[in-house]
Each structure stands twice: as structure tokens, then as C-alpha cells.
């Protein structure tokens, strides 16, 4: 079974399925090959990262703090109404403005370009995205990337697996799970009770039988055919990898309640997705998660917040409109819940939050029809002491979002000059490497 | 020759060809040459050519020295590219070597003003670079770029269609597993669970057994490919969005790539482990439907006493009229719901557990439907045993569901096996045989398992030779009752017009051209447009004469009559009725002549729903097939490239897209290519909404852009005669103007086509199209695309005989698509497999 399971076959052996894909994997596959992952200096231990991508935009106005200058603490500042639910976490919050993503040509959504820092393309990622790249350098977990999607109920039911924002390399899309019941069973089925356990066991038995049949079939095939049958036996591989974790899984497994089985609104399922993400982090199933509110596209539905309007037309509203304020505050409450959950869970001498970084931005820069000239981010946490927290940071000198991703890599122990800018960095980046002002 | 001897020989060879070289390059290039020569030896081991030019040892080093170094050494570094550091292909410099491969293959380099290498030298150099890239990338997933459909044109056209190359080795395809197309998998499921009507030649527009399950494009622009269980029993859908709502449904596997062009190549797709999870869920849903029926929300059962539906999809509830927006009125199961027969029904007749005999009937039934073959004895016994165990453990219904689901995920239900069998011929090739051959023939044309006659031929030992294949392929092609959706699919992917619904239009831009955007309604119109082009292509294929030329130049259009006047005004793609010069009844067969008049017949009068072969099925469940054939003035429309669907598919949210259009012509008609844009290129036109597209595109005239854009822009700008929703632009004082009143300049030019008689200026799109349609070269490029589609891979130089024979068959038969397909499906390229060297 695979929820973006770390599997060299899946991650490295795949190649672009369409135009524009390059099999050369110039940046990160090579890194994975050499395995020279050095721990960050000074005993700091960044362990996990969570990306939260909101569809349709996140504008400077949404995170504008009156009268503040770059580098100043947010500790005693009033946050704008849009992000006000984060007020209890001001000491962990960093607001980052001044980055650009013009080269991603966003317009509606930058898709893989958001986390990849390259030109928008909804069908084929050109290269690895930062969540997947971090997954390769942070401590390993059975699910290297947990990507979840939130949309209208119909959409989440109809498209339980989607691809839009994360990729392991050129053409190698990472799956986004959009159906919480499906995800629940994938991750916690082995320790669940009742119907979910029954279904999991049934499916496992079936898949075991299929694995056996396909293995017999594979025995008669040449090498090229045998490889294609590997996914048929992944269920047992995954089960083995989590077999020693059953206590942890049981401890953090969410209750399978009506929120999953009989949702009233899509927000029930959005909440369920957040709960599952938190549970997966706590249980150690994953160390990297990407939450896609709007599934990385330019639709989205929040009827549960009393918002009738939905889909593409939401993006035609101002980012500071009442509707977007309600959506944004809902996002922020989710982030707050995530922070609290990690803070209350011990890890080492502190809590999980001590070793975590949460990154909030939009998959489409600042608004629906944008040229990507302004692309604000917010972070929560200090990533195991490697990054600044609690500040407002205005990045000068026209640096691209790629430089922020390079910063995350450096914080995780992997300094790079450029993330996915290739030979074009001079055109889009006035500097090199990490944004030093963000590092601790 | 020992390994040592081989190495010595290589070095000796390298030294020999290097003897007159510059010293520094001799040293510098040696490691690269080792790669290249190894590659050449590998190639020559499998590909022996007869011509003296090939027998001559082509020096890769000499190629670089002669054609590259002058401009790309470290002193000159023209275009910022220095080839000197590229001493060998390594994991670190594959990006640069890919550029070399691309530029030389596409004849971008050497520049036209410089001396050009002969075709064979170029081919050998390119093959060497590919081999180097493959070797250098083997620990990074390998180099496969040359296998992707977008790179098909990289093989030299002139070599493929000339006598210059005498191929000693006959064509074959690498042995492989080809993932079953998601649409084909759905059709197989559809046939299992739904009562699909047999094809009725009286009403060719009706959806019949073997036709694809339609894709809804409403809620997601990437398409929603799924099978709605019980949809064969549904009546009364008039509201499009209702279709995607509440049916229990099955998604087969994730959709194919949404890129432009051919998509279904064997190397491109695998079934991934997360898809396996989805397939399990889908299999269980299908099995449940077959065994006991699906869970259907109560409101979906039609109560004729309560609901009265009319064609405008209003319903009367308690004497009050409700609108189609109420989903409960818009999709209902009919009275007397009946599931399709399957052996499960015999098993479920009584409460006793399934008997051995019943399972011996059930398992082959499912196995045959899903894998296209009978289970082997061992498979049968193991599967029956598994079902019996599950029934014991879980009870009858659950046990049957869990027990039978693995058949839906059998590797051969998801992949078509193409390994061939028997003794290899002297070239190491084996012919497809048995079930593999039958499935390949069926899979080339249909989404179904082999038809009964093909199965009979296989069973009777009459499917062994090329003649047998010719007989069966010809029979299937001639049999109109066997649905062959793969043929239409080829034209969709070749022309790309089916992508129109995925173009998200900006509301203001729609208003500017007189179209009101209203969510799903706009999508509906987009899907109509695709269906219209589908029907036009089918019409042309029916006469099967000069197919490509007809497709490119016909003045006919099939138009779906919009159901209401309001809709006509809403999205009147073609200009007003006055522009219709001729009404042709020749496709009146697309209209149901009896039993329906526009205003009076509601669904109450029809016993079973009639589905129409729309690209999107959510409308017109009942009633006629309302397509009409129109003939337009030759000054307004000219073939597929002037169909609204094609024009919209090659537009963007706000305007025409001359680059998409030009690139399409460059690649699909001229057989050329344009190097990939670097992933960070900021390709944005100036934001000048009042200016014409041509004026805004002045930025591509910059020196660094024009080198590539000259291959596209002058081919795309002639379509400025149309606006971005495909309407022919209006005239003012006898001249066309755009929406801002700017005069339309539709001139263009074919530049550097490689065919001198094609090059030159054109006055407008029509002159451009006619010039291309009359070209034999363009015909050959079309044949190359057909080859790729039906072989599921790009052509290699070894396939030259197949391509030449297919083109000859097409020409000798008056431009017959049927002759072209038959030629391809009886070729060595289709019939023979050769093991892949690991």
C-alpha cells in the first residue's frame, strides 16, 4: 500500500509522462542518490514540516501588521482580522512578505509551480517540489509525504486521489488524498475497529491474494514486466513497515464518527482531514504533510461556514471580502488546532512543535488573477531551532519563492544555492542560497 | 572477442577516427566517444544497415568538430552554450546534453546558414547522444524523453520516407505490458453491469454497446472519468450537474495525462499502488451492484404518480412546478429497474451457498470479461477456492464480493501483455500469438474484449499468421456493429479539439465576444462543440476518401441544434443563420425521424432511455439525436482547424493563442518541433487589452525568442480571422475587425518547414490550410502520428518500411483511413515483439 510511500522504485524510477518532463532529475534525485545527509549544526533537530496551501490567493493585506518594520517581533502586535485566530501563537508566527513568483506565471493556480518554484503546469511537474525534497532530508517515516485535499463534498467523493501540487521529480506526481474515509482506512485500518477494520481486513486479504497471483504471473515474465507488477504487492510492504507501530497508531487514531460517515457539510470532511493529518504526525506515520485547501486548484467550497458561493467565482472576490475573511479565519483556526496538538505532545525534552515548521501560503500567490509579483508566506515554529520565529520579515532585493525553499533546505541541513531555478537564477534571483534573515 | 579485446578494439577505433583531430579535443572527447561508440555498437548489433554511408564509420568527434566547436567552444560560447566541458555524458550534465540532442534532432543546429550534416550522420550522432544519456541516467530513472509522444518528430522524416536507408532488420516493437486505457477498463465494467443496446445502424448517434463511458467535465477541468452504476436505468436528466451527483460510481484508475497530443503510450503509465486501493473499492462497488444492486437514494426512484417530467426537466410536485435546478427531479431510476444478467443471479436465486458448478461458470465469466481470456486450470481452482473460503468466513454476499474482487485487479485486467511466443526468428523477434494477439487486435480498435468471431478464430487455430490477422482486422473494420471508439479517439488526440472544455474562460472575455458565462452552462456548450466535431469526423470517415484533406478543408459542419431559442442566443458559435448557405440532409440519419417532436414528448412515453453519443452524456437522455449538417461559405470555415472546438482548445482564458495553434501545425502537419521552453521562462504578453493579439505578440520578435517563435507565430496568427470562442469575426466596411475594432491581419507564413514548396507567405488561414492539405509531406506526417497511436510508441528508423507501406496503402486507396489502419495492424511493427535488453 502506498500513500506516497517512500519507495525507491516509485520515486526514482519513474519518469515524465508528458511533454516538458525531463528524466534528468537535475536537482534532487542526485541528492537522494548520494545519501550524504548531514545533520544540521549545533545539535538542532528539525524533524517535520507541514505546508498549508490555500486556493485562490493570500494577499499582503491579509497579513499586514500596521506600522511594523522588518525584523521586529510580533509578540505585542495586533494581527489583522484575517489571521487573528493565530494571536495565541504570535511568538511562533513569522510573516514573510516581499517574495515573488513571477516566473511561475500563476493565474488561477501555479499548481506544481507553487511548491516547485517553476512555471505553472497543471499536468506535469517539471521537477521535485519542496515538500518532497524536505521529505528526503528529514527523518524518514513510513509515509514520506502525506498530502491531503479539501474541496466540496461531491468533489472529494468523486476524486479521492488527485494530483496538483506535489511531485517527487520531473513528471512524478505525488498523490493527494481527498476522501477522509479512504485515508482513515489506509493509515489506521490495521488497528481500527468495527466496519473500518473489517473493510481493511477484507481488502488486505484480497490484495494479498492479488499479490500472490501477480507474483506467480511475474515469475513468467521478463524483467521489464516484473517491475510493473511491483505495486501489486505494496500492500504487504506498507503493512510490514507499520506493523511495529500499532501501539502508536492505536494511541493517536481519531475516532471514526459521523464526521466521516455522514458529513453534513464539506467542512466536516475538511476537519476530518486535519484530524487525520495531526494523528499521522503524532503517530509518526509521516514527518511531512501538505494540506491543500481547495485541492491546489481554483475552486473550493465552504458551505459549512455559511458561504453559498463556491468554486471559481470565489476568486473574483476581494481577498479582504467578508467571505474570504471567514474562509481565512477558518484556515487559521485549523493552523491553531495543529499547533496546539503538536504543543501538547511531548517529544524529546520538549514538544513536537519544537521540532516542527508549519508553512502557510496560497497555491496562487496573492489573488486569483495575479502575475505572482507578491507571494506572502507565514510560518509557525522554529523547525528544531533552525529558523527564526515570532517576527515580521520583509524580504528585500526581489528574491523568489525558491529562495525561501532553499532556506528550508538549509535549515534541514542541506544548503543549496538555488532550488529549481537551474540556469535561470540570474534572471529571477538577485541573490544565492538561503534567506539568512529567516535562519536562526 | 573477449571483453578486453573489445575494449582494445574500441580504443583503437577511437584513435583511428581521431587521428586528424585537434589534440585538445581528442583528449577532451575521448570519454564521450567511448559512450557513443558503445552505443553505436549496440545499435549496429541490432540494426544493420545496407547503405555504404552507414557502413562508413561516422565519427562523433568529427561531427562535433565540424558542426559545433566553431561556435560553442569556450572562447566563442555562442548563445551562452559551451560544449567543451561536456567531455562525456554524466548525471551532472544531462541537461546540457539533452539540449544538444534536442537542437540537433530538430535541425536547429547547425544553423541553416552553416553547412548541414547529411541525414545519416545526424541520425548517428543523435543516437549516440541518446545512448549516452541513457547510460548516464540509469541510476536516476533512466533517460526516456525520446520515447514520449512529444518527441516523435525527432526521428528524421526524410530518412523514414526515403530509400536511403536499407533496413536489414525488419521492424518490431519491444516486448511490453501496455496499461489498459482507463476508458477501456470502464467499458468492460459497463458491459458487465449495464444493459447496453446493440448498435442500431438506423440511429448511429445513439450510445451503443462498446461505446466509451462518457467523461463529465463539469466540476473539474481535468475530467471526471467514472462509471455511474445503474445509469442504464436512468431517465430524465436534463440538468447537467445532476449527472455527477449521487449515483454510486466507480472510478477506474486515474485519468490519462491531460497534455496535448497523443497520450496512450505503453511506456507512459503504470498502475500505482494507490490506484490499486481505488480499484479495490471500485471492484467491490461493481460486484455489489451485480450481486444485490447498489444503494440508491430513495429520491432517485421515480414515482410516476408523484413526479411528472417534461422535456424541459421541470417536474410537477403536488401540483406545483419545480425547476430543473432541483436535482431530485433531474435524475431518476425508471420503474421496473432491472440489472443486467450475470451468473451471480443464478447463485442468488436461492439462499444456499454457491455450488462448485456455479462458481465454475462464474469465474470464467468474470475472467473473460476482464482479462479477455479464459482462466487457466490452476487460476480457476485457486480463485474458486478463495471465493469459497471468503463465503465461509463472511457469508454469501460479502464473501462473493471479496472473493471475486481480485479478478478485477488481475494484472491482465489492467495490462495488455505483449511478449509474443514461439521460436525467435533470426532477428530475435517473436510474433504475438494466442490471447495476446487477439487482445492486441481487439484493443487496437475497440474498448472491448475480443469479439466472438475473433475468439472463434483463435480457438479454431485460425489466428496465427499475418493473413489471419488481415482477415480479422478487415472484418472488424467492415463490421459497423462493432464499435471502434479508438479510431475517433485517435482524431481527438491528434487534433486536440476535445480539450476545448478544459479551457477555462474569463467571464469578461466571454462577454466581450457576446457569450454569457454561467458556470456549467458554458461547459455544456463546450461539450456540444466537441461532439459536433466528433460527428463531423465520423461523417468524413464514413466516405473514407481523401480523409486528411477532407478533414482539413471540408466546408461542412455538423451542428447540434440547440434545444431552445434561448440557447441559440446564449452561445451561437456560428454566426447568424444567414451565413448558412446550404442545408444538407445527408446526415439526417443522425436525427431520429419518428416518435418525437420537439414540444410534446416527455420521458413518460419512452420505455428505455436513449443515450446519445455526446462527448459528455449528461444531456439529452431522451429524444432525438439533434445534429444537422450545415455547409458554410468557403470564406468562413475550412475543416477541423476552423471548428470552434479546435479554436477554443487552442486558445486561453482571454484570447486566441497563436502559439498553441502554430505549434500544432508545426508538429502535427509539418512534422517539425520546437525546443522545450526552459521551465523558468516568463512567457507573458503585454497587458494591453485594447490591442490586437498580433500587436501584443511583437515581444516574441525579440532575437532570443524569434528563433523558436518563427516556427509557430506565423502559422497561428492567420487564425485571427476567428475570435477566442471560435466565431468568425465580423466585418466592417468589408474587412474583418476584432472586438476592439482593430482591423484583422490574418496573414502568415510557413518558415523552415524543410519542404521548400510549402514555405512562403499566406494571406489567411484558408490559404495556409489548403497549401498544407495538398502536401504529400503533410500526409506522411499524419501517417507517422497514426503509427504512434496504434503502436503505442514512437517510430524508429527500423519502422521505415511500416510507415512507407502504410502511406502507400493510404494513397493507393484514395486516402482511405481504413486502408491505413489495416496496413498498420498487419505490419511487423504491430505483430512482432523483441525482448527488451535490460
What percentage of chain A has pLDDT greater than the value 70?
Answer: 88
A302 pLDDT tier (thresholds 50, 70, 90): very high
Q: Give the least confident one: A271-275, B54-58, B636-640.
A: B54-58
DSSP-derived pairing of the beta strands B224-225 and B227-228: unpaired
B204 pLDDT tier (thresholds 50, 70, 90): low
Phi, psi angle pair for B215, to nearest 5°:
-100, 130
Q: What is the pLDDT of residue B335?
A: 55
For residue B31, the SS3 value is: helix
Measuring CA to CA, which residue among B25, B85, B91, B94 is closest to residue B60?
A: B25
Within a 10 A sphere around the Cβ of A198, how many other Cβ atoms? 14
- Domain map (residue ranges) of chain A: 1-35+47-82+89-305+416-440
pLDDT of A214 strictly over 70: yes
| Binary contact (A17, B419; C-beta < 8 A) | no
Enter the DSSP assignment of B798. G
CB A396 within 8 A of CB A368: no
Q: What is the dihedral of CA B7, B12, B14, B19, to 10 degrees?
A: 160
pLDDT of B362 strictly over 90: yes
Enter the DSSP assignment of B462. -
pLDDT of B806 strictly over 50: yes
Phi, psi angle pair for A330, to nearest 5°:
-60, -45
Among the three residues B143, B178, B197, which one is the final residue of a domain in this structure? B143
Partner residues linked to B317 by β-bridges: B320
pLDDT mean over A95-122: 88
Please give the ipTM for the structure prediction.
Answer: 0.71
CB-count burial class (<10 Å; 0-12, 13-18, 19+) for B749: middle
Q: Rounded distance, CA B490 to CA A105, Å?
A: 31
B206 vs A14, residue with greater confidence: B206
- Work out the angle between the directed axes of helices B485-495 and B434-445 (0-180°, nearest 10): 60
- Residue B436 domain-assigned? no
Q: Rounded distance, CA A395 to CA A379, Å?
A: 14
Q: Tell which of B146, B276, B392, B412 to mutate to test the A interface (max A CBs under 10 Å).
A: B276
CB B661 within 8 A of CB B716: yes
Please tell me if residue A267 touches chain B, with a CB cutoff of 8 Å.
no
| Binary contact (A186, B677; C-beta < 8 A) | no
pLDDT mean over B761-790: 98
For B428, the grid coordinates are 530475435
| Binary contact (B140, A160; C-beta < 8 A) | no
Residues B638 and B743 in one domain: yes
Q: What is the pLDDT of residue B838?
A: 52
Measuring CA to CA, which residue among B400, B332, B402, B411 is closest to residue B362?
A: B400
For residue A110, the SS3 value is: coil
pLDDT of B624 strictly over 80: no
- For chain B, the distance separating the N- and C-terminal CA atoms, rounded to the nearest angstrom, is 21
Task: Find residues 353-382 of chain A whose CB sits inside 8 Å of chain B.
Answer: 369, 371
Q: What is the pLDDT of residue B407?
A: 95
CB B822 within 8 A of CB B470: yes
B92 pLDDT tier (thresholds 50, 70, 90): confident
Residue of B220, B251, B838 lying closest to A155 (CB–CB):
B220
Q: What is the dihedral of CA B357, B361, B363, B365, to 10 degrees?
A: 180
Q: Tell whether the torsion through CA atoms of B685, B691, B694 and B698 is positive or negative.
A: negative
Within a 10 A sphere around the Cβ of B526, how many other Cβ atoms? 26
**What H or E segment, with its residue span, contains residue A405?**
helix A401-411
- Residue B30 domain-assigned? yes
B612 pLDDT tier (thresholds 50, 70, 90): low
Please tell me if residue B170 touches chain A, with a CB cutoff of 8 Å.
no
Please tell me if residue B675 touches chain A, with a CB cutoff of 8 Å.
no
Within a 10 A sphere around the Cβ of B216, how many other Cβ atoms? 24
CB B95 within 8 A of CB A27: no
Distances from the Cα of B622 to the Cα of A310, B212, B533, B604, B678, angstroms: 31, 18, 22, 10, 50
Which residue reads 463529465 in cell numbers?
B216
Within a 10 A sphere around the Cβ of B124, how many other Cβ atoms? 25
**Chain B residues inside the 8 Å CB shell of A206:** 280, 402, 405-406, 409
Task: Find residues 100-119 of chain A whose CB sits inside 8 Å of chain B.
Answer: 102-103, 105, 107-108, 118-119
DSSP assignment of A119-168, as one string?
Answer: --BSS--SS--HHHHHHHHSPP-SBS-EEEEE--HHHHHH-SEE-SS-EE
Searching chain A, which residue's CA lies closest to the CA of residue B250?
Answer: A158
Please tell me if residue B272 touches chain A, with a CB cutoff of 8 Å.
yes
Measuring CA to CA, which residue among B542, B560, B545 is closest to residue B613?
A: B560
**Chain A residues inside the 8 Å CB shell of B141:** 12-15, 23, 25, 29, 169
C-alpha distance from A13 to closest chain B C-alpha (Å): 4
Residues B642 and B509 in one domain: yes
Q: Rounded distance, CA A27 to CA A172, Å?
A: 14
Residues B409 and B507 in one domain: no
Residue A319: CA atoms inside 13 Å, Cβ hemisphere, count? 23
B475 pLDDT tier (thresholds 50, 70, 90): very high
DSSP-derived pairing of the beta strands B320-322 and B315-317: antiparallel
Measuring CA to CA, which residue among B724, B767, B729 is closest to residue B748?
A: B767
Residue of B219, B269, B278 lying closest to A155 (CB–CB):
B219
Partner residues linked to A177 by β-bridges: A148, A161
Predicted model pTM: 0.81
Residues B738 and B636 in one domain: yes
- Residue B251 domain-assigned? no
**Chain B residues inside the 8 Å CB shell of A183:** none
Residues B578 and B657 in one domain: yes
Q: What is the pLDDT of residue A107?
A: 74
B384 pLDDT tier (thresholds 50, 70, 90): very high
Partner residues linked to B316 by β-bridges: B321
* Total domains present in chain B: 3
pLDDT of B585 strictly over 50: no
Query: What would the pLDDT profile of B512-567 be if each residue is shown by its tens digit?
Result: 877 765 555 666 677 778 888 888 898 899 899 999 999 999 988 877 655 433 33
CB A277 within 8 A of CB A291: yes
DSSP-derived pairing of the beta strands B415-418 and A172-173: unpaired
Residue of B144, B174, B409 lying closest to A15 (CB–CB):
B144
Query: What would the pLDDT profile of A225-276 be if each residue is shown by its tens digit?
Result: 777 787 777 766 777 777 788 899 999 999 999 999 999 999 999 999 999 9
CB B666 within 8 A of CB B673: yes
pLDDT mean over B736-750: 94
Domain span at B405: 339-414
Q: Rounded distance, CA B155 to CA A437, Å?
A: 51
B613 vs A161, residue with greater confidence: A161
Residue A360: CA atoms inside 13 Å, Cβ hemisphere, count? 27
**What H or E segment, with its residue span, contains residue B249?**
strand B249-250
Which residue reads 508566506 in cell numbers?
A377
Q: Rounded distance, CA B50 to CA B46, Å?
A: 13
Enter the DSSP assignment of B431. E
Among the three residues B143, B169, B191, which one is the final residue of a domain in this structure? B143
- Residue B83 domain-assigned? yes
Q: Rounded distance, CA A377 to CA A359, Å?
A: 7
Measuring CA to CA, which residue among A150, A181, A158, A155 is closest to residue B226?
A: A158
Task: Find residues 181-240 of chain A whose CB sits inside 8 Å of chain B.
Answer: 182, 186, 202-203, 205-207, 209-210, 213-214, 217-218, 221-225, 228-229, 231-232, 234-235, 238
Cα-to-chain-centroid distance, residue B322: 42
CB-count burial class (<10 Å; 0-12, 13-18, 19+) for B527: buried
Amino acid at each position: 500500500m502506498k500513500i506516497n510511500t517512500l519507495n525507491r522504485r516509485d520515486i526514482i524510477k519513474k519518469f515524465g509522462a508528458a511533454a516538458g518532463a525531463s528524466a534528468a532529475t537535475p536537482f534532487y534525485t542526485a541528492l537522494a542518490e548520494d545519501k550524504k545527509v548531514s545533520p544540521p549544526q549545533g545539535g538542532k533537530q528539525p524533524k517535520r514540516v507541514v505546508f498549508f496551501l490555500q486556493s485562490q490567493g493570500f494577499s499582503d493585506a491579509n497579513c499586514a501588521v500596521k506600522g511594523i518594520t522588518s525584523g521586529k517581533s510580533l509578540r505585542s502586535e495586533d494581527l489583522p482580522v484575517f489571521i487573528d485566530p493565530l494571536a495565541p501563537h504570535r511568538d511562533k508566527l513569522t510573516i514573510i512578505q516581499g517574495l515573488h513568483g513571477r516566473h511561475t506565471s500563476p493565474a488561477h493556480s501555479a499548481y506544481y509551480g507553487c511548491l516547485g518554484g517553476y512555471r505553472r503546469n497543471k499536468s506535469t511537474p517539471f521537477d521535485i517540489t519542496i515538500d518532497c525534497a524536505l521529505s528526503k532530508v528529514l527523518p524518514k517515516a513510513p509515509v514520506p509525504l502525506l498530502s491531503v485535499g479539501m474541496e466540496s463534498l461531491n468533489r472529494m467523493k468523486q476524486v479521492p486521489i488527485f494530483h496538483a501540487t506535489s511531485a517527487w521529480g520531473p513528471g512524478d506526481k505525488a498523490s493527494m488524498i481527498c476522501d477522509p474515509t479512504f485515508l482513515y482506512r489506509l493509515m489506521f485500518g490495521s488497528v481500527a475497529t468495527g466496519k473500518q477494520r473489517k473493510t481493511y481486513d477484507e481488502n488486505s486479504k484480497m490484495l494479498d491474494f492479488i499479490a500472490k497471483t501477480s507474483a506467480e504471473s511475474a515469475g513468467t515474465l521478463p524483467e521489464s514486466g516484473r517491475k510493473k507488477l511491483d505495486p501489486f504487492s505494496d500492500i504487504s510492504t506498507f503493512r510490514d513497515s507499520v506493523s511495529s507501530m500499532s501501539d502508536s497508531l492505536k494511541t493517536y487514531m481519531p475516532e471514526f464518527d459521523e464526521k466521516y460517515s455522514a458529513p453534513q457539510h464539506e467542512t466536516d470532511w475538511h476537519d476530518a482531514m486535519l484530524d487525520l493529518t495531526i494523528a499521522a504526525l503524532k503517530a509518526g506515520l509521516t514527518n511531512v504533510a501538505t494540506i491543500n485547501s481547495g485541492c491546489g486548484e481554483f475552486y473550493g467550497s465552504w458551505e459549512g461556514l455559511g458561504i453559498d458561493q463556491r468554486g471559481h467565482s470565489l476568486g473574483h472576490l476581494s481577498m479582504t471580502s467578508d467571505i474570504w475573511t471567514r474562509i481565512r479565519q477558518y484556515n487559521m483556526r485549523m493552523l491553531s488546532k495543529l499547533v496546539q496538538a503538536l504543543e501538547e505532545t511531548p517529544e524529546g525534552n520538549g514538544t513536537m512543535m519544537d521540532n516542527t515548521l508549519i508553512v502557510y501560503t496560497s497555491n496562487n500567490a496573492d489573488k486569483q488573477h495575479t502575475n505572482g509579483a507578491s507571494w506572502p508566506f507565514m510560518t509557525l515554529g522554529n523547525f528544531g531551532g533552525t529558523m527564526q520565529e515570532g517576527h515580521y520579515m520583509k524580504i528585500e532585493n526581489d528574491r523568489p519563492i525558491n529562495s525561501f525553499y532553499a532556506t528550508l533546505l538549509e535549515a534541514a541541513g542541506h544548503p543549496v544555492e538555488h532550488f529549481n531555478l537551474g540556469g535561470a537564477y540570474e534572471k529571477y534571483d538577485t541573490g544565492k542560497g538561503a534567506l539568512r534573515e529567516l535562519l536562526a | 572477442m573477449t571483453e578486453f579485446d573489445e575494449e582494445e578494439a574500441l580504443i583503437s577505433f577511437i584513435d583511428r577516427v581521431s587521428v586528424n583531430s585537434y589534440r585538445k579535443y581528442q583528449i577532451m572527447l575521448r570519454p564521450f566517444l567511448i559512450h557513443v561508440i558503445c552505443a553505436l555498437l549496440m545499435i549496429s548489433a541490432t540494426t544493420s544497415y545496407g547503405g555504404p554511408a552507414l557502413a562508413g564509420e561516422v565519427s562523433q568527434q568529427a561531427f562535433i568538430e565540424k558542426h559545433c566547436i566553431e561556435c560553442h567552444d569556450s572562447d566563442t560560447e555562442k548563445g551562452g552554450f559551451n560544449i567543451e566541458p561536456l567531455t562525456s555524458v554524466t548525471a551532472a550534465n544531462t541537461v546540457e546534453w539533452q539540449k544538444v540532442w534536442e537542437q540537433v534532432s530538430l535541425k536547429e543546429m547547425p544553423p541553416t546558414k552553416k553547412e548541414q550534416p547529411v541525414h545519416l550522420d545526424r541520425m548517428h550522432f543523435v543516437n549516440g547522444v541518446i545512448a549516452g544519456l541513457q547510460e548516464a541516467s540509469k541510476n536516476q530513472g533512466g533517460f526516456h524523453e525520446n520515447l514520449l509522444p512529444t518527441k516523435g518528430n525527432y526521428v528524421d522524416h526524410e530518412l523514414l520516407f526515403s530509400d536511403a536507408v536499407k533496413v536489414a532488420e525488419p521492424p518490431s516493437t519491444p516486448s511490453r505490458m501496455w496499461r489498459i486505457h482507463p476508458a477501456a477498463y470502464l467499458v468492460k465494467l459497463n458491459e458487465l453491469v449495464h444493459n447496453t443496446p446493440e448498435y442500431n445502424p438506423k440511429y448511429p448517434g445513439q450510445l451503443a454497446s462498446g461505446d466509451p463511458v462518457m467523461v463529465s467535465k463539469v466540476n473539474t477541468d481535468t475530467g471526471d472519468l467514472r462509471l455511474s452504476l445503474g445509469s442504464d436505468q436512468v431517465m430524465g436528466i436534463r440538468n447537467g450537474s445532476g449527472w455527477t451527483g449521487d449515483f454510486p460510481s466507480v472510478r477506474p484508475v486515474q485519468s490519462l495525462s491531460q497534455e496535448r497530443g497523443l497520450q496512450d503510450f505503453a511506456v507512459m503509465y503504470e498502475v500505482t499502488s494507490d490506484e490499486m486501493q481505488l480499484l479495490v473499492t471500485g471492484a467491490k462497488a461493481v460486484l455489489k451492484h451485480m450481486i444485490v444492486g447498489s444503494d440508491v437514494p430513495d429520491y432517485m426512484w421515480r414515482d410516476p404518480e408523484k413526479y411528472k417530467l417534461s422535456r424541459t426537466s421541470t417536474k410537477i410536485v403536488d401540483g406545483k412546478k419545480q425547476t430543473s435546478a432541483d436535482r431530485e427531479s433531474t435524475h431518476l431510476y425508471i420503474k421496473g429497474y432491472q440489472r443486467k444478467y450475470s451468473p451471480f443471479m443464478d447463485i442468488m436465486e436461492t439462499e444456499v451457498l454457491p455450488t462448485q458448478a456455479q462458481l465454475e461458470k462464474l469465474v470464467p465469466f468474470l475472467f473473460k470479461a476482464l482479462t479477455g481470456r479464459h482462466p487457466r486450470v490452476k487460476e480457476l481452482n485457486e480463485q474458486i477456492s478463495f471465493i469459497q473460503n471468503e463465503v465461509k468466513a463472511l457469508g454469501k454476499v460479502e464473501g462473493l464480493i471479496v472473493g471475486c474482487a481480485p479478478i478485477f485487479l488481475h494484472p491482465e485486467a489492467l495490462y495488455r501483455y505483449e511478449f509474443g511466443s514461439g521460436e525467435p526468428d533470426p532477428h530475435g523477434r517473436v510474433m504475438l500469438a494466442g490471447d495476446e494477439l487477439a487482445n492486441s487486435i481487439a484493443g487496437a480498435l475497440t474498448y472491448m474484449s475480443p469479439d466472438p468471431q475473433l475468439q472463434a478464430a483463435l480457438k479454431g487455430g485460425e489466428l496465427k499468421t499475418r493473413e489471419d490477422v488481415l482477415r480479422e482486422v478487415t472484418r472488424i473494420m467492415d463490421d459497423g456493429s462493432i464499435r471502434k471508439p479508438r479510431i475517433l479517439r485517435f482524431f481527438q488526440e491528434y487534433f486536440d479539439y476535445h480539450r476545448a472544455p478544459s479551457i477555462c474562460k474569463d467571464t469578461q472575455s466571454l462577454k466581450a465576444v457576446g457569450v454569457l458565462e454561467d458556470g456549467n452552462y458554458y461547459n455544456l456548450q463546450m461539450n456540444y462543440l466537441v461532439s459536433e466535431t466528433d460527428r463531423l469526423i465520423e461523417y468524413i470517415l464514413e466516405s473514407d476518401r481523401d480523409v486528411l484533406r477532407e478533414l482539413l478543408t471540408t466546408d461542412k459542419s455538423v451542428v447540434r441544434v440547440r434545444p431552445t431559442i434561448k440557447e441559440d442566443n446564449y452561445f451561437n458559435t456560428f454566426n447568424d443563420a444567414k451565413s448558412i448557405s446550404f442545408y444538407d440532409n445527408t446526415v439526417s440519419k443522425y436525427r431520429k425521424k419518428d416518435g418525437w417532436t420537439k414540444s410534446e414528448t416527455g420521458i413518460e412515453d419512452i420505455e428505455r432511455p436513449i443515450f446519445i453519443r455526446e462527448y459528455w452524456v449528461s444531456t439529452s437522455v431522451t429524444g432525438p439525436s439533434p445534429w444537422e449538417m450545415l455547409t458554410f461559405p468557403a470564406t468562413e470555415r475550412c475543416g477541423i482547424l476552423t471548428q470552434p472546438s479546435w479554436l477554443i482548445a487552442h486558445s486561453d482564458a482571454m484570447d486566441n493563442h497563436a502559439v498553441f495553434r502554430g505549434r500544432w501545425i508545426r508538429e502535427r502537419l509539418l512534422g517539425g518541433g520546437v525546443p522545450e521552453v526552459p521551465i523558468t521562462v516568463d512567457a507573458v504578453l503585454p497587458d494591453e487589452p485594447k490591442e490586437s493579439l498580433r500587436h501584443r505578440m511583437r515581444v516574441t520578435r525579440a532575437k532570443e525568442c524569434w528563433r523558436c517563435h518563427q516556427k509557430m507565430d506565423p502559422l497561428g496568427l492567420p487564425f485571427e480571422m476567428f475570435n477566442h470562442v471560435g466565431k468568425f469575426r465580423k466585418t466592417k466596411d468589408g474587412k474583418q475587425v476584432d472586438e476592439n475594432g482593430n482591423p484583422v491581419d490574418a496573414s502568415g507564413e510557413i518558415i523552415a518547414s524543410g519542404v521548400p514548396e510549402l514555405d512562403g507567405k499566406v494571406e489567411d488561414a484558408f490559404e495556409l490550410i489548403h497549401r498544407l492539405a495538398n502536401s504529400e509531406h503533410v500526409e506522411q506526417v499524419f501517417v507517422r502520428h497514426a503509427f504512434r497511436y496504434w503502436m503505442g510508441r514512437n517510430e524508429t528508423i527500423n519502422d521505415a518500411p511500416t510507415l512507407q507501406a502504410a502511406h502507400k496503402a493510404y494513397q493507393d486507396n484514395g486516402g482511405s483511413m481504413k486502408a491505413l489502419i489495416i496496413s498498420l495492424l498487419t505490419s511487423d511493427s504491430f505483430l512482432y515483439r523483441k525482448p527488451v535488453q535490460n
